[in-house]
Amino acid sequence: MNIILFGPPGAGKGTQAQFIVKKHNYFQLSTGNLLRDEVKLKTSLGSKIEQLISNGEFVSDEAVNTLLKQAITHLKFRDRIIFDGYPRNIEQAINLELILNEFKQTIGHTIFLNVSRDIIEKRIMGRMTCEKCNMTLNEYFNKEQIELHPCGPEHLKKRKDDNLEVVIARYDTYMTATKPILDFYSKNLNFTEIDGAQEIDQITTKIDDILKV
């Protein structure tokens, strides 16, 4: 079964997805990472995507859905996907249901990491992501881990869209387009809300408990 990690930007979805990948043999499907990979290819689609991401706007459903379908239909990932950053609006939520039904897969757990905007701002402003392994660390809270990072600290980079103006835009978009789809998921028995303001390992322990069920 697959997992949806749901929450505002900076809630810790990517960080927790990486733990689930290591411990529970899952694959992280971060639409943000897939889109940033497309930007790195420097295609014309990539430059349109770059523009939207740097303004904190959504990339078109069409582009994101194509990338998503390629991953869902990949045999290696079958029923072992953590959706991180998808769905982000009601149309994407419906699209996910349709594709999963078509390929006879299910969502086993929907986990909502709930975090307030002031905490998000602090987390995102310090966030550094490794361009090689995608690990995320925070320049204020993880100084030592940054120094000792196995790929080398020079590979930890700030995302261009992690500045205050864009963070506020992304949060507003989350509140208007993404948060309303919680109604769609919160009625299901497999839905769990976790206080995402807790320490990383406390959240990991709660997710471990959920995945044991």
For residue 63 the two structure tokens come to 């582009």
Which position among 16, 17, 26, 88 is part of the footprint of ligand AMP (CB under 6 A)?
Answer: 88
Which position among 19, 21, 27, 58 is part of the footprint of ligand AMP (CB under 6 A)?
Answer: 58
CB 122 within 8 A of CB 51: no
CB 127 within 8 A of CB 21: no
- The helix (H) or strand (E) run that includes residue 186 is helix 182-186
Q: Which is nearer to ligand AMP, 148 or 164 (CB)?
A: 164
Site string for ligand AMP, 146-185 (x = CB under 6 A): ---------------x--------x---------------
Query: How far are the Cα atoms of 3, 55, 127 from residue 58, in angstroms, in the given order?
Result: 22, 9, 20
Site string for ligand AMP, 5-44 (x = CB under 6 A): ----x--------------------xxx--x---------
CB 83 within 8 A of CB 5: yes
Footprint of ligand AMP (CB under 6 A): 9, 30-32, 35, 52-53, 56-59, 64, 85-86, 88, 92, 161, 170
